[in-house]
Amino acid sequence: MADLTVTYCGVSFPNPLILPSGIAQEIPADHLRAIKAGAGGITTKSLTIEPREGNPLPRVAKYQEGFLNSVGLRGPGIEKGKGLIKEFLASSPVPVLVSVFATNVHDFVRFASELCPLNPHFLELNLSCPNVEDDMGKALGLGAESASAAVAAVKKVSGSVPILAKLTPNISNIAQVARSCEQAGADGIVAINTAGPGMLIDISRKKPILGAKRGGVSGPAIRPIAVRCVYDIFEAVKIPIIGMGGITTWQDAVEMMMAGATLVGVGSATYFKGYGAYEEIKKGLQEYMEKEGVKNLTELVGAAH
Ligand SMILES: Cc1cc2nc3c(=O)[nH]c(=O)nc-3n(C[C@H](O)[C@H](O)[C@H](O)COP(=O)(O)O)c2cc1C
């Protein structure tokens, strides 16, 4: 059987398929299920400083080619969240990417100061959540300067924990933001968060389906945007990329690696296919490697350039 192991920022993953942030909400139960089903790494739901209830119901809607969500960073806040993360880190057999969300540099620094001593494999800065603007201000990743300021400040207190910058596609030049994050010391880039925001309308009620009306778009509908973003970022930076956005099949995973991703996130696909998506994609990747004589998946990274 072809070897699927991949090294990312010096950390070894049993396979390149990771669970993106927020797809499974509960730490650790949902994450352990994804690991059992074959995920090679787990990103925890973006933690906020204060506990948050999230947006009004319904918060999610599925449509033919994608998924709309306005979860709004529902979560336990840093005090309780820190304990849950500590517990999960002790039990996870695969690398863990701890995701945090803040709208100012000070709060990102607090996260790094409190969470890096727990020694997560990575700290992922969510510079890009589209669903919380109304009450929390604009995401820092919307501008190259604010994104790099957050990364630079976090790097001063993060010790040896690699710092990842997760970016939004909802800007005109994602590659420029990625380059600024690299210059500020980011160890890797994660792209993309959800696109949009979008809206779906229930024509019988004549009302938007989501309680918050607008939500981030994920799933197959955004795959071409994600592939283009990763392609552009690969041309702009030297640090490695985690690519995500609509990956559902092994062919999608290969495409994303050819665009420039070392690891790939498989998120919304699990809503359509269940966690079985991981084994299915892994099997397809192994067959592809054997057929094409690929010894290590890193041979594919950036092959389309
Ligand atoms: C229900 C839901 C919740 C999400 N929550 C977060 C989050 O808390 N933090 C984050 O960085 N991204 C969040 N995302 C975005 C995903 O991590 C991912 O970037 C995006 O869905 C694209 O990948 P996909 O098409 O494979 O789902 C969420 C996505 C969904 C569908």
CATH number of 6-300: 3.90.1150.10, 3.30.413.10, 3.20.20.70, 3.40.1160.10? Answer: 3.20.20.70
Going from the Cα of 24 to the center of ligand 1, the distance in angstroms, rounded, reads 9
- Is residue 130's pLDDT more than 90? no
Sign of CA dihedral 81, 262, 250, 200: positive
Per-residue pLDDT band for 151 (boundaries 50, 70, 90) equals very high
Q: Is 113 exposed, middle or buried (0-12, 13-18, 19+ CB in 10 A)?
A: middle
Give the whole-number percent of the chain exceeding pLDDT 90. Answer: 85
pLDDT of the residue at 176: 95
The pLDDT tens digits of the residues spanning 53-73 come to 778 889 999 999 999 999 877
Going from the Cα of 295 to the center of ligand 1, the distance in angstroms, rounded, reads 31
Which residue owns the Cα nearest ligand 1 atom 6? 22
Going from the Cα of 100 to the center of ligand 1, the distance in angstroms, rounded, reads 13
Element (H, E) at 35: helix 29-36
Angle at 275 between CA 192 and CA 27, to 5 degrees: 75
Instruction: Report the C-alpha gap between 231 and 121 in whole angstroms.
Output: 25
Per-residue pLDDT band for 26 (boundaries 50, 70, 90) equals confident
- Is residue 135's pLDDT more than 60? no
Per-residue pLDDT band for 134 (boundaries 50, 70, 90) equals very low
Closest atom of ligand 1 relative to the 190 alpha carbon: 19
Closest atom of ligand 1 relative to the 218 alpha carbon: 25
- Is residue 36's pLDDT more than 90? yes
Instruction: Report the C-alpha gap between 33 and 86 in whole angstroms.
Output: 18
The pLDDT tens digits of the residues spanning 226-274 come to 999 999 999 999 999 999 999 999 999 999 999 999 999 999 999 999 9
pLDDT of the residue at 18: 98
Which residue owns the Cα nearest ligand 1 atom 5? 22
- Is residue 211's pLDDT more than 70? yes
Q: Which residues contact 75 (CB under 8 A, 6 or more apart)?
A: 25, 45, 46, 47, 48, 51, 52, 54, 81
Per-residue pLDDT band for 132 (boundaries 50, 70, 90) equals low
The pLDDT tens digits of the residues spanning 165-201 come to 999 999 989 999 999 999 999 999 999 999 999 999 9
Closest atom of ligand 1 relative to the 128 alpha carbon: 11
Give which of 72, 66, 63, 68 is closest to 45, Cα–Cα: 72
pLDDT of the residue at 253: 98
Q: Where are the domains of the chain?
A: 6-300
User: For 66, phi and psi rounded to 5 degrees?
Assistant: -175, -160
Compare 27 and 226 and report the one with higher pLDDT.
Answer: 226
Active site includes 181?
A: no
Which residue owns the Cα nearest ligand 1 atom 21? 218
pLDDT of the residue at 129: 58
